[in-house]
């Protein structure tokens, strides 16, 4: 099981996505991005299991929340 890191336009959207995923029974974790070159967004990412990536993206997308990047490594 790999971890994927979802990057958002703001930390508020990251937290909104986190709350949304939790409501759908999907676990995620807010982490600071270590890779400075990826700092196009808010500097934080939601870490999720790659197994639930597609479902998570669909849940987040249905709420109109934009994921600006998906990283294999933070």
Name which of 16 and 49 has its Cβ closer to other proteins: 16
Q: How far is the CB of 62 from other proteins (least distance, A)?
A: 14
Interface with other proteins (CB under 8 A): 9-13, 15-16, 19, 30-32, 39-44
Q: How far is the CB of 43 from other proteins (least distance, A)?
A: 6
Q: How far is the CB of 42 from other proteins (least distance, A)?
A: 4
Tell me the C-alpha distance between 29 and 13, whole Å. Answer: 14
Q: Are strands 67-71 and 44-49 parallel, antiparallel or unpaired?
A: unpaired
| Helix (H) / strand (E) containing 57 | helix 53-62
Name which of 26 and 44 has its Cβ closer to other proteins: 44
Tell me the C-alpha distance between 12 and 18, whole Å. Answer: 10
């Amino acid at each position: 099981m790999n971890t994927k890191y979802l990057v958002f336009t703001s930390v508020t959207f990251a937290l909104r996505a986190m709350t949304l995923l939790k409501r759908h029974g999907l676990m995620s974790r807010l982490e600071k991005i270590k890779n400075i070159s990826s700092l196009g967004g808010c500097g934080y990412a939601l870490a999720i299991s790659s197994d639930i990536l597609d479902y998570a993206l669909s849940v987040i997308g249905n709420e109109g929340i934009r994921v600006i990047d998906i990283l294999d490594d933070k």
